[in-house]
Amino acid sequence: MEPLYFDYNASTPVHPRVAAAMQAALDSYGNPSSAHWAGEPARLIVEDARRRIARLLGCEPNEVIFTSGGSEANNLALKGLAFARGVANTHIVTTAIEHPAILAPCAFLERLGATCTVIPVDGTGRIDPDDLRRAIRPDTSLISVMHANNEVGSIQPIAECARIAREHGIPLHTDAAQTVGKIATQIATLGVDMLSIAGHKIYAPKGVGALYVRSGLRLEPLIHGAQHERGRRAGTESAVLCAALGTACALAMELAPNEEIRKLRDAFWNGLQERFGARVLLNGHPVERLPNTLNVSFLGAVGGELLARLPDIAASTGSACHAGSIELSPVLKAMGITPENGVGAVRFSLGLKTTRAQVESALAQLSTLQI
């Protein structure tokens, strides 16, 4: 039976155009910082990639910092600002459904003397902007709200959050790892001051990402050394990985919004409802949700056990088994999903290679299970 990949939110395959760009960049082996004939081609590749990312976001190229991925970009945004302004003077507002690459840096900064306020989400996984407004204090120095959640796909009201942040003169960061290439991520529309990108979520390889930082916003580097990336991240840039991310961002401009993928996602959901009726529930916002993401709970089942019985389907679960007990993900907990419903959660995320035949095959295999 054909293996079926429904885990694009976890990682995407490298697109052929991205692979070709990487292959071409391999010949430019010089150091991009070297002012000679070998370094110049590498520098041009890096700067062309930076321009492509800037074009996607609608920002200036010098506002783009290359990183090793989305986690580093998030860490640089939070820790970089806290260290630049003084950790003891830092108060961060974030949400209960952020990726660990946000929540863990917040916890780290708290150990150093910072304070953090975590605002709740409703049953659909979205925040109430009024909760954000109430969480702001005189010493609030940063707000970080993810653009869309990786598990349930719910899209946050980032533009409204940005208006609130601007009213108080507070920088706003958003983790856009899941939204680039799926929905619009123009800085002018979102109104954010920092934005994180992860290459392997947009058909580039793992190990490369970027952070948009609005001009004039000062961050302390996490990696110190030479003056790479205009002194914001030391370490010789990889022309190969930069070329990959730049090409992936150019591709993302062609992809968003993912209307064809949305149709497949909706066909998948309709098929599940036809086969399971009230025994399957949708997790996440019914409308304000990533076009490729379908998180559902199979009532009376355990997500991990369900997928174990279907080894040809690659998908993710919303619970984890520990010594015979089942624990819901922090996201489902924050949404108020009951343990009875949450243990059966499975996330199916679609991508460029997903076909209607694959969706039908997955539905047929799921239909064989006694749930």
Q: Is the dihedral of CA 230, 231, 233, 234 positive or negative?
A: positive
pLDDT value of residue 324: 57
pLDDT value of residue 326: 74
Q: In the annotation, is 321 catalytic? A: yes
Q: Is the dihedral of CA 23, 28, 30, 33 positive or negative?
A: negative
Share of the chain above pLDDT 70, in %: 98
The answer on pLDDT for 270 being more than 80 is yes
The answer on pLDDT for 86 being more than 70 is yes
Neighbours of 248 (CB within 10 A): 31
Task: Compute the mean pLDDT over every residue in the chain, rounded to the nearest whole number.
Answer: 96
DSSP β-bridge partners for residue 295: 283, 347
pLDDT value of residue 319: 62
Cα distances from 278 to residues 70, 147, 204, in angstroms, run 37, 30, 39
Contact 253, 32 (CB under 8 A): no
pLDDT value of residue 256: 76
d(CA 60, CA 252): 18
pLDDT in tens, 177-216: 999 999 999 999 999 999 999 999 999 999 999 999 999 9
The answer on pLDDT for 31 being more than 80 is yes
Domain boundaries, the chain: 4-11+257-367, 16-255
Half-sphere exposure of 278 (CA within 13 A, CB side): 0
Domain 4-11+257-367 CATH (choose: 3.50.50.60, 3.90.1150.10, 3.20.10.10, 3.40.50.10300): 3.90.1150.10
Which tokens hold the place of 353? Answer: 């290679």
The answer on pLDDT for 325 being more than 80 is no
Domain 16-255 CATH (choose: 3.40.640.10, 3.50.50.60, 3.40.50.280, 2.60.40.1180): 3.40.640.10
The answer on pLDDT for 257 being more than 90 is no
Q: Can you point out the beta strands (E) in the chain?
A: 4-5, 64-67, 91-95, 115-119, 140-144, 172-175, 194-198, 209-213, 280-283, 293-298, 313-314, 316-317, 319-322, 325-328, 345-349
Cα distances from 78 to residues 20, 141, 191, 216, 303, in angstroms, run 34, 10, 18, 16, 33
- Catalytic-labelled residue, pool 116, 242, 249, 321: 321
Q: Do domains 4-11+257-367 and 16-255 have the same CATH topology?
A: no
Average pLDDT of 350-369?
97
d(CA 47, CA 125): 38
The answer on pLDDT for 176 being more than 90 is yes
d(CA 147, CA 142): 16
